[in-house]
Amino acid sequence: MPYEFKFPDVGEGIHEGEIVKWFVKEGDRIKADQPLGEIETDKAIVEMPSPKSGKILKLHVAAGGIIHVGETMVTILEEHETDADAKKHMEAKAREKHEPKKEAKSDVPYTGSVVGFLEEAKDVKPIQTNKKEITSAIQSSIQATPAVRNLAKQLNINLANLKGTGPEGRVTIEDVQKSGSVKKEVAGIKVTRKYDFFGYVERVQLHGIKKIVAQKMTDSIFTAAQLTNMHEADVTELAALREKEKSQYEKEGIKLTFMPYIVKAVALCLKEHPYLNASLEGEEIILKKYYNIGVAVDTEEGLIVPVVKGAEAKDIKTIAKDIDKLANDARSKRTNLMDLRGGTFSVSNLGSVGVEFFTPIINYPESAILGVGRVTEKPVVRSGKIEARKILPLSLTYDHRIVDGAQAARFVADLMERLQLCEFESK
């Protein structure tokens, strides 16, 4: 007869759950251990695998419905069974539903135990007891401190089930932690707890762009020998130039920030410092003769680094247009795949969210990345006088396998000079 798969006791104190979603539908052919669906309880997410191979005859609870331990979830017509078997089974179930239930007579009454049948003494009247009082008495007799009892309560662990390892059998915090860390899985069921040692947690699946970025950052940090130098550039004159040109750019629908000036200056400096525009392949350093600057963009889906191609040959207005378009495309999920390729150096700007100095991670396999911080006014001594100047924090991370400290310092010195003097043409 078809197999009725009931929601099992998966531990964790779970008695019922909500069917979040089914991975199968009625009529589907399935294999043993294939996931059937996902059930959420107040303590865990349970991914339920099929115990049998065959055909899904019936899903007994719709998505969004509640199922209790012991109730039938799925009826499966096993591979060796026929449609006739399925028909007989369904007819029998229909009869059971409409016929009055008869009490089964047996010399050994059913006890409701999940481990089988237990004999009962027929002539002895049961003693009426208060189960709550008995449980409380047992718990009180266990040697454990209030802290241990509180932890056990949080983790829904019965102290009576633990063997204490402390003096005179006292239950310790370690005993409770060890018990709480044991995974209770039934027949390959995957149980993901919604709490940890300290309380409830929320799990967010790493997917899409965030997953790709996470892998790239891991590859970068475990491959390149990364070192960060930090500097301060005086951009007082550059800030004045930006203010002067900003209104004209706005008339053309272009948002003018410091980034176009920085991207242009970086590209020009890379021509003079080729090892910061390079990558490492085996035992060879590849010096790139083109200057494509990646600009990190923060989107709802994660960090995207579109690339301004040929930045050294473009004017500030063109670079500003490019950055504006690339950022808008990234945030509206219209990025062309080619706009993400071909970068030789990257710039990451956290100044817009109030950060000054940070340690950006190289966009591997590039050899360096520039972190741009928030422009602030600071007192600076000039010609023996203290003046308020606009200061731009710069953080350069570089691959020490390719770039040494002196090369990095000279690159930033040239970059700072260009920004301070507003020089955006080749020397």
Of residues 310, 338, 335, the one with CA closest to residue 325? 335
Domains in the chain and their CATH numbers? 3-98 (2.40.50.100), 131-185 (4.10.320.10), 209-421 (3.30.559.10)
Q: Determine which helix (DSSP H) or strand (DSSP E) holds 20, and give its type and residue range.
A: strand 16-22
Question: What pTM does this model have?
Answer: 0.62
CA distance linking residue 251 with residue 254, whole number of Å:
7
Helices of type H across 252-358: 259-272, 316-331
Q: Residue 37 forms beta bridges with which residues?
A: 22, 48
CA distance linking residue 175 with residue 157, whole number of Å:
11
pLDDT at 183: 38
- Take residue 230 and report the two structure tokens written for it: 């930090």
Please give the chain's pLDDT, 427 residues, in tens. 789 999 887 665 667 888 999 999 999 999 988 999 988 877 677 888 998 999 999 999 999 899 998 899 999 999 888 777 777 877 777 777 666 655 544 444 444 433 334 444 444 444 454 545 545 555 556 778 777 787 777 677 888 888 888 877 888 877 877 776 543 454 567 777 777 777 888 888 777 778 888 888 999 999 999 999 999 999 999 999 999 999 999 999 998 999 999 999 999 999 999 999 999 999 999 999 999 999 999 988 788 999 999 999 999 999 999 999 999 999 998 888 899 999 999 999 999 999 999 999 999 999 999 999 999 999 999 999 999 999 999 999 999 999 999 999 999 999 999 999 999 988 7
Check whether the bond before 274 is cis (ω within 30° of 0): no
- Tell me the pLDDT tens digit for each residue of 180-198: 654 345 456 777 777 777 7
Report strand pairing: 190-193 vs 72-78. Answer: unpaired
Cα separation of the two ends of the chain? 86
pLDDT at 177: 72
Other C-beta atoms lying within 10 Å of the C-beta of residue 282: 6
Catalytic residue among 80, 89, 231, 400: 400
- Tell me the pLDDT tens digit for each residue of 39-94: 887 767 788 899 899 999 999 999 989 999 889 999 999 988 877 777 787 777 77
Is 15 a catalytic site residue?
A: no
CB within 8 Å of 266: residues ≥ 6 apart: 293, 311, 345, 347, 370, 415
